Amino acid sequence: FLSRNANLGDCVQPCRWEYEIKPKNKEESLIVGEDKNGTYLLNSLDMCLIKRIEEMIKTGISAFKIEGRAKSVYYLANVVGAYREAIDLHYNKTKIQERKKRINFLYKELETKLVHRGFSEGLMFGNKKDNKQNFKDSKSTPNWEFCGQVTGCKKIKKDKYAVTFKVHNSLKIYDNLELISPPYNSKKWRLKEMYDLAYNEILEAHGGGGGQKVIIYFKTPVSVYSVLRRRF
């Protein structure tokens, strides 16, 4: 692994691996701390400090870095959008109770709709009850799946916009969808119609082979790079 530079995005992610001990010259191996899930010795929880944004800003921090190595555009769109809004809430001087309620909502969104290894505040705030490792599995399994990203938006007539999506995974009529636009504006609906690029109505689309593109109509414009997810 010496040729794989983690700082250049080439990490092989050994923290996600399950480990075992195999005695030399023996066929049988031993699972460390054996249980039904195996053992993930280096599998640290993901750091989530969105509830601490205001405290960190007050210390003089002027920039925050979001981990992006080996992350999908869907993960980054959600995390960067949520943190951007949390920072803006502070600088816009939103009322304390409104700010707290919204940040709790953003935290819950990240916790329940993204694939992650569980959340921790790490070592920054001295929370001894905050677990730092996830020994049970390598990741969470949310009930939402990334299914599209906006690549274009064209006004057809008043109150009608043709929004082009590049499909990831799959997209089908009657899917329950949620659109996330910058910074973190959400719209939920049930898909009743969509079209291919020739404006022929279709019932499903798939992301294989570079990603099929589809058109969905909206009453208002949608930002390019907004992301779409579907509920299982």
pLDDT tens digits, one per residue of 59-99: 999 898 887 767 889 999 999 999 999 999 999 988 999 99
Instruction: Give the angle 173-178-183 at the CA atoms, nearest 5°.
Output: 150
Question: Residue 173 above 80 pLDDT?
Answer: yes
pTM > 0.75: yes
Lowest mean pLDDT, pick from 16-30, 52-66, 157-171: 16-30
Residue 171 near residue 195 (C-beta atoms within 8 A): no
Query: What is the rounded average pLDDT of the residues 188-199?
Result: 96
From its phi and psi, is residue 115 left (phi > 0), alpha (psi between -120 and 50) or beta? beta
Question: Residue 215 above 70 pLDDT?
Answer: yes
pLDDT bin (cut points 50, 70, 90) of residue 129 is confident
Residue 30 near residue 99 (C-beta atoms within 8 A): no
Secondary structure class of 132 (helix, strand, coil): coil
Average pLDDT of the residues of the chain: 86
Spatial neighbors of 126 by CB under 8 A, at least 6 apart, are none
Spatial neighbors of 59 by CB under 8 A, at least 6 apart, are none
- pLDDT for 32 equals 62
- For residues 206 and 128, the model is more confident at 206
- pLDDT for 133 equals 65
Q: How far is residue 56's CA from residue 35's CA, in Å, rounded to a whole number? A: 39
